[in-house]
Chains A and B, each alone.
Chain A
Amino acid sequence: MKFRDEYRDAEAARRMVEAIARTVTRRWTLMEVCGGQTHSIVRFGIDQLLPDTITLLHGPGCPVCVTPVSYVDKAIEIASRPEVILCTFGDMVRVPGTQGSLSTARSRGADVRIVYSPTEVLEVARAEPQREVVFFAVGFETTAPANATAAIQARREGLGNFSMLVSQVLVPPAITALLAAPDNHVQGFLAAGHVCTVMGYQAYRPIAERWQVPIVVTGFEPLDILEGIYRCIVQLEQGRAEVENQYSRAVRRGGNAVAQAAMDEVFQVTPRFWRGMGEIPDSGLGLSAAYADLDAERRFGSVTAKQETRGECMSGLVLRGERKPTDCPAFGKQCTPDHPLGVTMISSEGACAAYYRYRIHQRQAVTESE
């Protein structure tokens, strides 16, 4: 496929790895903040190609993983009402609340439907006017415009049976929260390419300056990620801390203005609780006053904050990049994608799932060939 295969070329990747190896003179720790990038890194073994002096940490890059228990509980409560059809993206149905997930609610009779696109929710609302159709809308900035457009179209069509339970999160405030943590040791960031396709990268400049970290907007294919790492390392070695755009084939400085306008119309910035990270100021989106009538919390009662339960799962530490999945004693033993103990194993984009999918099999393949 064009614009994909050429960035998976092994020879080009090898040349970029060599360039990195020639550039690096000391230890550096970088973090990517996107589950898609984490997946590529683990899948293509990018971390294993790099010199030992470079450590890649995987950040809170999965919106499903950071959705708090309280929202999942609320979604289950709403979905369990007989008049409701609850629609959401596939990964969300397995995320556990205090008691069970949307998937278990469905097996008890709740009408929970998986959608690929927010526009499908509108199709459901049109087809079933006698039911209340609730869209559990999660995502980073990449998904926010599409989710916003569902609200705009519902309003335009006068779909009175459509509402949204919104748990949208924003990336730059999370990066700031990670940098502000007293034990932070991340020295450079790969910023999530598709988030920046929508938002541009101006918001990262003050962060790079204030915390003196290079931030490189990076794509998702192996060569993109290697170039992002290369640019980060060049900056670190030269003592620079700037924002650069590796993913210029899809990211413009100001992002996508039309998409941003849709977001601005429907959403407003709110404080948001992140699973594993706690409350981060200005890190979420909720419905704006103009769209408050579409707020499922208004129709079905508001979400009440709950204490997160702590078990043997260390997904909170994994989400903050403080532990690798393989550091967890339960990884691949008590905890697998079929019997997940934590959200980073449940979501296909979670770091634990990526390590399980690509590393366990790799290890088996190695042992088998020995």
Chain B
Amino acid sequence: MCLAVPGLVLSTTGDDALTRMGRVDFGGVIKEINLIYVPEAKAGDYVLVHVGFAIAVIDDQEAARVFELLQQIDEAAGTQGVAT
């Protein structure tokens, strides 16, 4: 039930923080999404959407962190299989 899906904000409408909506692209399927909980979201951002409401803007930098961690882990273990 807590399923939330990442989508790309194409455009936003409404300046009122209480009614702000956005057109969000989920891999080709475009939906009108409520943006009231993400006042900072703007076109070009990825948001996480649950039951029609965006609940977070996805942080690009943090999103890459797990791959950096993998790199560190592999280096520490000396199992550098990624020299390719």
**Interface residue ranges, A against B (CB under 8 Å):** 1-4, 6-7, 12, 15-16, 18-19, 22, 34-36, 62-64, 89, 91, 116-120, 138-140, 142-143, 145-146, 149, 192, 194-195, 197-198, 220, 223-224, 227, 246, 248-252, 256, 258-259, 262, 349
Contact = CB atoms under 8 A, between A and B. Distances in A.
B74 A15 contact: yes
5 contacts: A117-B53, A142-B1, A143-B1, A145-B53, A249-B60
Q: Shortest 3 CB-CB distances between A and B: which pairs? A: A117-B52, A249-B63, A3-B6
B1 A63 contact: yes
Nearest to B74: A15
B2 A140 contact: yes
A149 B34 contact: yes
B53 A146 contact: yes
Nearest to B26: A1
B60 to A, nearest CB: 8
Interface of B: 1-6, 8, 26-27, 34, 36-39, 46, 48, 50-53, 55-56, 58-60, 62-63, 65-67, 69-70, 73-74, 77, 79, 81-82
Nearest to B60: A249
A223 B37 CA distance: 27
Nearest to A251: B56
B61 to A, nearest CB: 8
Given A1-B27, A36-B3, A248 B65 contact: yes
B26 A258 contact: no
**Among B1, B36, B63, residue most surrounded by chain A Cβ atoms (within 10 Å):** B1
Given A18-B79, A143-B51, A249-B58, 17 more contacts: A1-B6, A6-B67, A15-B74, A36-B1, A36-B3, A118-B51, A139-B2, A143-B50, A194-B3, A249-B62, A249-B63, A250-B55, A250-B56, A252-B56, A256-B37, A256-B38, A258-B37
A224 B6 CA distance: 14
B50 A194 contact: yes
B32 to A, nearest CB: 10
Residue with the greatest number of chain A CB neighbours at <10 A, chosen from B6, B27, B66 = B66
Contacts of A146: 34, 50-53
A194 B37 CA distance: 14
A258 B46 contact: no
A338 B68 CA distance: 44
Contacts of A89: 1, 51
Contacts of A138: 1
A138 B48 CA distance: 20
A334 to B, nearest CB: 26
A12 B67 contact: yes
Contact of A91 (B1, B6, B69): B1
Contacts of B8: 2
Contacts of A120: 52
A19 to B, nearest CB: 5
Contact of B1 (A140, A197, A227): A140
A197 B55 contact: yes
Given A142-B50, A248-B65, A36 B73 contact: no
Contacts of B74: 15, 19
A139 B1 CA distance: 7
Contact of A195 (B2, B69, B82): B2
A15 B53 contact: no
Between A15, A116, A256, A262, the greatest number of chain B beta carbons within 10 A of the residue's beta carbon is seen for A15
Contacts of B46: 2-3
Given A19-B77, A223-B66, A142 B6 contact: no
A4 B6 CA distance: 8
Which of B2, B6, B36, B51 has the most chain A CB within a 10 Å cutoff? B2
Contacts of A223: 66
Contacts of B77: 18-19, 22
Contacts of B48: 194, 197, 250
A111 B69 CA distance: 52
A138 B27 CA distance: 28
